[in-house]
């Protein structure tokens, strides 16, 4: 039996794997939940069915090379690696190192994310590296960094939510996206204190029923003014914790002035949330926070992608943080602010160097001292490390342009489905001289590649992951990998040799982890005090965990820094910063248009490359459904189950109508997991947040047209 963690979301639920005897089961392992803090033994449908992918008939088991006739044909590893190295060396000699590009993923282990960043910068010599976390956590990271000086999704253990008296949750539908999370909302629900903000009456919003809390249903893309309106009430009615603000923050004067115009009636006109509901929510939060500081139940504000995946996502996150600071919550035991990480290693994936502007340990690539530290660990001069590269949207836009990348390596991502304005990304990939994709299935992106390299799945590899609460976890191998599949660490090692790269590129996960620790030492996300054997023994370790930390592996003992900011924030003066933010209304919709919001389904995960291959998950949600209010459907002459074309200037998508009063009259909802004509991101906009470079995923104007089907 092997204790490890689910391969899907950032809860990283605890699971146990046990090999099956072929005569007793068609699956290679039995999978069951185990008692781990995030899931308490429970799993969602995705987690329970994860083992079905380990011996899936579509599993890639040999390198595939594009042939002159357009087909993909098997080649051996020596040929494949020699070809990658030859192409990279030739293009670099002709066009410079930045003609090579790399795109990583928040699903990679810490070791692979670290080694990928190092490989790009030393072996390829390129600055052109970014990852799909740019589409996930970048606005949350930008907002928390400028407010607190440090970005960790939840700066407290997830289990702290269990005792909450009130939780304000904005832009996250955890009941569908990570169902075991719901158990941590029980305390707030029993206290009547769960407040969910979502344009849809989502599965999470429905948890507020029966006096468990209440649902605020704003117009899409108006979360920022709603938060400004809530903050206005706290200030105008003298409900803010002024003693906390004076002792632990900077900027209250400027923030107060910026909130003056956001009285509830004005906020209501913009958001559609009634003024009295805004006042009631603000007053309830203030009352609960006051009781928490007097020894009562804590209060938390949580945000997710629904408010962050906008071109003003960083400012919206900042407004949520400002609200938490006005209540006097962050850095106390009375509650706090946190953002709910999505991808499995979304936290660790953004700490160790695959982001275009960062080096391991959450170090800035532009900081001379940070560069010098990492260079010493890598055994090179600081000048050998390229400067900052391009964030994802700009990187994809640059592909195949006269001065842009000519070759790209993609690891663990499927941007043909997951990137905004997806048809433009697919077109950009065709302009490359050579595209290499590492995956274990032929994803929609891999299907466009010139070379596909088969890699290991989660149950076949060793490594570490960092979950949504900053807890470092051990991923353990329970199965022998297919003969011709390889770890990315082995691939990097082999290619580094062929490219005559400086430094060491070990194929062994533990050796890479030891180097990662040295590179992170002294950084914001310091792993230097983490011992691999302690993780194997089940130690609960939260970063930062600097060298010299006395780690204990006993049950219930939390090591490192489970709760951040109790002694001070990560800015030099140890104070948080209240940053005034401002709302710019979006252009008005045409009267015939509606707002499109996108999101995840219970049955599917991310681009669906894995979950669409699990029969019971695919059967439960076999095609995209457009959630639309019955009155809106009537106005567009759309019937239940009828095919609908959803379109705008970027593209069109076909889905079947699902009539539901859970939708707003002015809003429709599409899941983003489907390929081909069902790809919701054909409609989303590549307009980005100026701070985080996050695209505008969660709001687009679309037209609807019913399809007349033959009888």
Domain count, the chain: 4
Strand partners, 81: none
> How many other CB atoms are found less than 10 A from the CB of residue 592?
10
Q: How far is the C-alpha of 521 from the C-alpha of 20, rounded, in Å?
A: 42
In a domain, 550, yes or no: no
Q: How far is the C-alpha of 333 from the C-alpha of 541, rounded, in Å?
A: 19
Instruction: With cut-offs at 50, 70 and 90, classify the pLDDT of residue 710.
Output: low
In a domain, 141, yes or no: no
Cβ pair 245, 252 in contact under 8 A: yes
Going by C-alpha positions, the residue among 309, 462, 408, 495 that lies closest to residue 100 is 408
For all residues of the chain together, what is the average pLDDT? 95
CATH number of the domain that residue 385 is part of? 3.40.50.740
CATH number of the domain that residue 624 is part of? 2.40.40.20
Cβ pair 694, 688 in contact under 8 A: yes
- Answer yes or no: do 311 and 193 share one domain: yes
pLDDT digits (tens, 9 = 90+) for 148-193: 999 999 999 999 999 999 999 999 999 999 999 999 999 999 999 9
- Answer yes or no: do 117 and 40 share one domain: no
In a domain, 555, yes or no: no
* Residue 568, phi then psi, degrees to nearest 5: 155, 160
CATH number of the domain that residue 165 is part of? 3.40.228.10
In a domain, 543, yes or no: no
- Answer yes or no: do 203 and 77 share one domain: no
Q: Which domain holds residue 625?
A: 594-706
In a domain, 565, yes or no: no
- Answer yes or no: do 277 and 183 share one domain: yes
In a domain, 531, yes or no: no
- Answer yes or no: do 508 and 655 share one domain: no
In a domain, 582, yes or no: no
Q: What is the pLDDT of residue 280?
A: 98
- Answer yes or no: do 115 and 72 share one domain: yes
Q: What is the pLDDT of residue 23?
A: 61
Q: What is the pLDDT of residue 591?
A: 73
- Answer yes or no: do 333 and 349 share one domain: no
- Answer yes or no: do 187 and 316 share one domain: yes
pLDDT digits (tens, 9 = 90+) for 290-344: 999 999 999 999 999 999 999 999 999 999 999 999 999 999 999 999 999 989 9
- Answer yes or no: do 406 and 300 share one domain: no
Q: What is the pLDDT of residue 711?
A: 53
pLDDT digits (tens, 9 = 90+) for 234-259: 999 999 999 999 999 999 999 999 99
213, containing H or E segment: strand 213-216
Measured CA angle at 64 (ends 59, 68), to 5 deg: 140
- Answer yes or no: do 115 and 160 share one domain: no
Supply the Cα-derived Rg of the chain in whole angstroms.
Answer: 25
In a domain, 287, yes or no: yes
- Answer yes or no: do 285 and 406 share one domain: no
Phi-psi region of 649 (alpha: psi -120 to 50; beta: other; left: phi over 0): alpha
Q: What is the pLDDT of residue 555?
A: 87
For 552-571, what is the mean pLDDT?
A: 95
- Answer yes or no: do 502 and 626 share one domain: no
Report which of residues 100 and 537 the model is more confident about.
100
CATH number of the domain that residue 47 is part of? 2.20.25.90
């Amino acid at each position: 039996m092997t204790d490890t963690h689910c391969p899907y979301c950032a809860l990283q639920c605890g699971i146990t794997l046990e090999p099956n005897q072929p005569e007793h089961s068609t699956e290679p392992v039995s999978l069951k939940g185990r008692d781990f803090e995030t899931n308490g033994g429970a799993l969602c449908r995705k987690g329970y069915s994860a083992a079905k992918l380990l011996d899936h008939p579509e599993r890639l088991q040999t390198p595939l090379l594009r042939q002159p006739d357009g087909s993909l044909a098997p080649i051996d590893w020596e040929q494949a690696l020699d070809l990658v190295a030859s192409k990279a060396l030739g293009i670099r000699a002709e066009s410079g190192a930045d003609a090579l590009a790399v795109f990583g993923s928040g699903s990679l282990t810490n070791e692979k994310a670290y080694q990928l960043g190092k490989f790009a910068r030393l072996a390829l010599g390129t600055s052109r590296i970014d990852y799909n976390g740019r589409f996930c956590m970048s606005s949350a990271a930008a907002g928390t960094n400028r407010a607190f000086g440090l970005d960790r999704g939840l700066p407290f253990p997830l289990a702290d939510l269990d005792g909450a008296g009130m939780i304000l949750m904005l832009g996250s539908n955890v009941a569908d996206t990570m169902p075991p999370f719901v158990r941590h909302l029980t305390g707030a629900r029993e206290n009547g204190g769960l407040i969910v903000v979502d344009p849809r009456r989502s599965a999470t919003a429905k948890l507020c029923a029966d006096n468990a809390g209440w649902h605020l249903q704003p117009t899409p893309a108006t979360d920022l003014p709603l938060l400004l309106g809530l903050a206005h009430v706290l200030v105008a009615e003298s409900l803010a914790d002024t003693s906390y603000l004076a002792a632990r923050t900077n900027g209250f004067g400027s923030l107060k002035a910026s909130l003056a115009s956001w009285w509830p009636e004005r906020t209501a006109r913009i958001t559609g949330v009634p003024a009295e509901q805004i006042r009631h929510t603000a007053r309830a939060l203030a009352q609960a926070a006051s009781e928490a500081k007097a020894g009562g139940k804590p209060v938390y504000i949580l945000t997710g992608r629904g408010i962050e995946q906008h071109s003003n996502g960083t400012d919206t996150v900042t407004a949520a943080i400002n609200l938490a600071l006005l209540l006097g919550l962050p850095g106390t035991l009375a509650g706090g602010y946190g953002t709910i990480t999505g991808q499995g290693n979304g936290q660790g994936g953004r700490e160790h160097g695959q982001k275009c502007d960062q080096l391991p340990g959450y170090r800035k690539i532009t900081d001379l001292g940070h560069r010098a530290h990492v260079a010493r660990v890598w055994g090179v001069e600081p000048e050998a490390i390229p400067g900052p590269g391009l964030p994802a949207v700009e990187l994809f836009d640059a592909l195949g342009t006269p001065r842009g990348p000519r070759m790209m390596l993609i690891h663990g991502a499927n941007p043909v489905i997951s990137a905004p304005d997806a048809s433009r990304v697919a077109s950009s990939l065709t302009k490359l001289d050579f595209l290499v994709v590492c995956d274990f299935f032929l994803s929609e992106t891999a299907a466009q590649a010139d070379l596909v390299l088969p890699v290991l799945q989660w149950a076949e590899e060793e490594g570490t992951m960092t979950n949504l609460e900053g807890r470092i976890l051990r991923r353990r191998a329970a199965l022998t990998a297919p003969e011709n599949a390889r770890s990315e660490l082995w691939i990097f090692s082999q290619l580094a040799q062929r490219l005559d790269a400086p430094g060491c590129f070990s194929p062994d996960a533990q050796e890479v982890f030891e180097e990662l620790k040295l590179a992170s030492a002294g950084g914001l996300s310091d792993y230097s005090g983490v011992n691999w054997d302690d993780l194997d023994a089940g130690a609960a370790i939260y970063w930062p965990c600097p060298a010299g930390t006395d780690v204990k592996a006993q049950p219930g003992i939390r090591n490192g820094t489970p709760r951040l900011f109790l002694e001070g924030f990560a800015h030099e003066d140890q104070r948080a910063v209240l940053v005034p933010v401002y709302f710019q209304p979006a252009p008005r919709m045409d009267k015939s248009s509606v707002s499109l919001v996108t999101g995840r389904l219970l049955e599917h995960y991310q681009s669906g490359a894995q979950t669409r291959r699990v029969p019971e998950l695919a059967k439960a949600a076999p095609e995209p459904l457009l959630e639309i209010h019955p009155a809106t459907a009537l106005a567009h002459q759309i019937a239940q189950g009828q095919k609908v074309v959803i379109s705008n200037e970027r593209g069109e998508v076909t889905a079947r109508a699902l009539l539901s009063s859970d939708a707003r009259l002015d809003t429709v909802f599409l899941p983003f997991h489907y390929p081909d004509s069902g790809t919701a991101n054909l409609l989303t906009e590549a307009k980005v947040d100026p701070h985080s470079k996050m695209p505008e995923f969660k709001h687009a104007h679309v037209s609807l047209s019913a399809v007349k089907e033959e009888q």
